[in-house]
Amino acid sequence: MVNGFDETGLRFMKMHGAGNDFVVIDSRGREAQVSAGLAKALGDRNRGVGFDQLAEITNSDEADFRLVFWNSDGSQAGACGNATRCVSDYVMRGLGVDSVSLVTARGGLLAKRAADGRVWVNMGQPQLDWRQIPLAGEVDHLCLPLPGDPVAVGMGNPHCVHFVADAEAVDLTRIGPAVEHDPLFPQRTNVEFAQLISPGRLRMRVWERGTGITLACGSGACATGVAAHLRGLTGRKVALEVDGGTLEVDWRDDGVWLSGPVAKVFDGVLSPDYLEAHR
């Protein structure tokens, strides 16, 4: 026993980016630890730890590390921008460097620490072809045949972005799950509602696929920034006011870069009995 923890359990970290909260498990140097059952159990905020997404760090032959993301319902998430920033901050501190390469289901990504200390991650180019997003059929992704005239953008996961006059007035608990499960999205979708504040600023609220309402969504911020520029509402660089703070998106020639606050909250150890019950 060390400080009350049985070290035969599984260590984890709790982190967040603008209130978008994560359980992070570092599995470098050993086999992957997370299963769908364990992810779902840990995602329970009453009987587990609670998170918007779980991120597992594993070894990679192609980059400094690999990330696998899980939603709180036990499904996998192809991308998670805020978790990527948080984990990149943790890895950079551990290695004593200001940039790292990583691999996700999306492919190879790059994260850097700017001179002001903020962590930026290149989330790659947006996916705008209907097959890549993906959509169920060939439609105009800039004007989807759905109420509200939304825009579809892929960022390694699908997003459906609505531009509204008042983001606060949107009933996310009603509209979010209906859009998430619309037949137009064969892999379901994340759902964003954005209000134009100025040409360089948006107010965004989000319903995340497999999780529900969250205080922030990094890939959603990227998708919303891309959609706003394609609709002619903003430039390629925009700040997004989310429920948990402010995220910044910069769509550059080499991809969509994302930045915002990161925080490590605590370390913990999952008990052997808990692990055995939820393998």
Which residues are annotated as catalytic?
80, 217
By C-alpha distance, which of 25, 69, 4 is closest to 218?
69
Give me the phi and psi of 67, to 5 degrees please: -125, 135
> Cα–Cα distance between 40 and 212 in angstroms, integer?
14
Q: Strands, DSSP E only, in the chain?
A: 10-17, 20-26, 53-58, 65-71, 76-77, 99-104, 107-113, 119-122, 151-154, 158-163, 190-198, 201-208, 212-214, 237-242, 245-252, 255-260, 263-270
> Cα–Cα distance between 39 and 32 in angstroms, integer?
12
> Cα–Cα distance between 83 and 90 in angstroms, integer?
11
Q: Are 123 and 112 spatial neighbours (Cβ–Cβ below 8 Å)?
A: no
Q: Are 206 and 222 spatial neighbours (Cβ–Cβ below 8 Å)?
A: no
C-alpha torsion angle, residues 261, 105, 28, 209 (rounded to 10) = 50
